[in-house]
Amino acid sequence: MPRIELQNPQNTTGEKKEILDQIHSAFGTTPNMFKTIANSTSALKMMWSAFGALGGGKLGAKLGEQIAVAVADINRCEYCLAAHTALGKGAGLSNEVMSQAQVGKSNDPKTQAALTFAVKLVKERANVAPDDIAALKKAGYSDEDIAEILAHVALNIFTNYTNVAFDVPVDFPKVALS
């Protein structure tokens, strides 16, 4: 049972309605997470614009979804784990790749470097060392890429906390936490 009201998109107006309509158009439905955060137009605008900005980033959807499932699993967010597993599969990633990413693993060395960094950011609350940045650069990531990895982690922490704190009902095929 959600802890705050899920907004009915049909009952909204103004900027909130415009954003919820964009979300509905993008997903073919309005996911419960957005209905929940829509209690605040500012929070909804922030979340949706962050998804849009990162969706147009350099890292691409596949790595973004792999980071998302790793972060979701650490934060015990069943909603994001389910949503991003579905989105990762939609981006062309296999069940095996998504399962590996959920526990911060990849067979691809460059992806592994990004996941290792993302996991450390979450578990160590951003207390990373110069060697962590050097490992990313050695794997082929630029400073721009590294900043974008951090942005993916930050957005996913926001969405994880939204879903866990407000007990948002999962409306994607469920995936078991590790």
Amino acid identity, residue 22?
Q
The Cα 147–Cα 144 span in angstroms is 5
For the stretch 70-113, pLDDT in tens is 999 999 999 999 999 999 999 999 999 999 999 999 999 999 99
The model's confidence at residue 1, banded by pLDDT at 50, 70 and 90, is: confident
CATH number at 67 reads 1.20.1290.10
DSSP one-letter code for 41: H
pLDDT score for 2: 83
What percentage of the chain has pLDDT greater than the value 70?
A: 100
Q: Do 125 and 138 form a contact (C-beta atoms < 8 A)? A: no
Co-location of 76 and 150 in the same domain: yes
Residue 106 lies in a domain: yes
Residue 153 lies in a domain: yes
CA 159 to chain centre: 7
Q: Quote the pTM value.
A: 0.97
For the stretch 121-144, pLDDT in tens is 999 999 999 999 999 999 999 999
- pLDDT exceeds 90 at position 161: yes
Co-location of 50 and 128 in the same domain: no
Residue 65 lies in a domain: yes
Q: What's the domain range around 23?
A: 13-55
The Cα 145–Cα 125 span in angstroms is 19
Q: Do 41 and 73 form a contact (C-beta atoms < 8 A)? A: no
DSSP one-letter code for 176: -
